[in-house]
Structure 1
Amino acid sequence: MSEKTKSENLEILASDVRACRLCIEKPQKKPLPHMPRPVLQVSATARLCICGQAPGTRVHKSGRPFTDPSGDRLRDWMGIGENVFYDAGRLAIVPMGFCFPGLDAKGGDLPPRPECRNTWHDRLFAAMPQLELILVIGQYAQAYHLGAARRKTLTETVTGWRDYFEASPQPGKPVVLPLPHPSWRNNAWLKKNPWFESELLPVLRREVARLV
């Protein structure tokens, strides 16, 4: 398959994702409480991918990934600005849920919609074999990309980041680096785990600079 064919197939697939209405037309649980607005960023040339949870209210309004304080912190962690972050040719963004899932009774975001993972994720990643590194943010992304290798808690998984990052990658599979969510709600976690800033972030920034 030529590089051009790969790109065309990915473009068609991404267009299908953006037009997806499964969560209201054929939902696997209670329908999405608002009109879908799938958000993703993909290309056949990006070597780095971010896989997080799902868009929040601000991203749902903007239609662009990480247009919120979490995005500001994530870009700071990565050591890049918006010009690189939103360059699809260099950076892919594939959240576990493409649409804002709605809020729970306490005002927090609901889990990512299952329709996204079950319908689209395997196909999207198969269409981007050029990916070399995937940043997996939060428990849902870690469950998908790490499978049985994921540890019992997010903290244990992120603490063991070297085991995933330094492991010999499977042929044709990208390296996976687990991260906590960059939400400001995780300030306490970051204070309790200073090794994240001193040990993991330098590696993250080095790899981002190499790949983008």
Structure 2
Amino acid sequence: MANDIQALPFRELVHQVRSCTLCADKLPLGPRPVIQLSEDSKILLVGQAPGRRVHETGLPFNDPSGDRLRQWMGVTRDTFYDETLMAILPMGFCYPGTGKSGDLPPRPECAPAWRELLLERLRCIELTLVIGQYAHAWHLPKPKQPVTANVRNWRRFWPDIVPLPHPSPRNNGWLKQNPWFEAEVVPALQDRVRSILGQAVHSPLR
């Protein structure tokens, strides 16, 4: 079965992912995988899992977190949602529900089922942004480190990978406590994005 899926044309593989019901009985609003990608994508964004608003609209990062992420990258919405430029593959493709302190973790069934199959088709990726602890744990070299340590040591992964904190408004306190992030990492990230996309980017909000 795995070999059959690996042999699928790219569009059919994506269709299979978007039709996935692997953990339907564990999702409070049912399955709705929200991903964006093409075989030409140049930048890969890896977040946690869609929030409720993203589930409702079917558009990844269509929320305040996405607004801040676009500011960090210095790109417009049109650029961000151009699948030939940006691939967006969260660690969990469906909204997992809400717990006591925010959204629940990504469903554990998702990444083992689909992640490698999709990543191996993205052969034009020049930069991967790993956002938050679950993306860090999957994409960064072991041993596992806290998010702040990974972001502070961003040069270790440069220029192919940039570890980021989650852009959620819940992280406003972290940003205030770590002003070096917007002073050092954000300008470097914008320069890297500009070099890949070959277009001007906007200045970060201060």
* Superposed pair shares fold, TM > 0.5: yes
Q: Which of 42, 55, 59 in structure 2 is aligned with 1:60? A: 55
TM-score with structure 2 setting the length: 0.89
The corresponding residue for 1:195 is 180
CA spacing shift, 1:109–1:125, aligned 2, 3 Å: same
Secondary structure in structure 2 of the residue aligned to 1:130: coil
The letter of the residue matching 1:78 is: M
Alignment of 1:47-86 (within 5 A): 47-86=42-81
Aligned length: 191
% identity of equivalent residues:
51
Deviation at 1:176, TM superposition (A): 1.4
The corresponding residue for 1:5 is none
The corresponding residue for 2:133 is 139
Following superposition, which runs of at least 4 residues in structure 1 exceed 4 angstroms of deviation? Answer: none
CA distance in 1, matches of 2:183, 2:19: 42
Deviation at 1:149, TM superposition (A): 4.7
The letter of the residue matching 2:174 is: W
The answer for unaligned runs of 5 or more in structure 2 is: 1-7, 198-206
Cα RMSD over matched residues?
A: 1.5
The letter of the residue matching 1:121 is: R
Deviation at 1:209, TM superposition (A): 1.4
Q: Does 1:159 align with 2:144?
A: no
The corresponding residue for 1:120 is 114
- Contact 1:47/1:211, CA 8 A, preserved across alignment: yes
CA distance in 1, matches of 2:141, 2:157: 12
The corresponding residue for 1:205 is 190
CA spacing shift, 1:130–1:149, aligned 2, 3 Å: farther
CA spacing shift, 1:10–1:50, aligned 2, 3 Å: same
CA spacing shift, 1:103–1:178, aligned 2, 3 Å: same
CA distance in 2, matches of 1:17, 1:143: 22
The corresponding residue for 2:4 is none
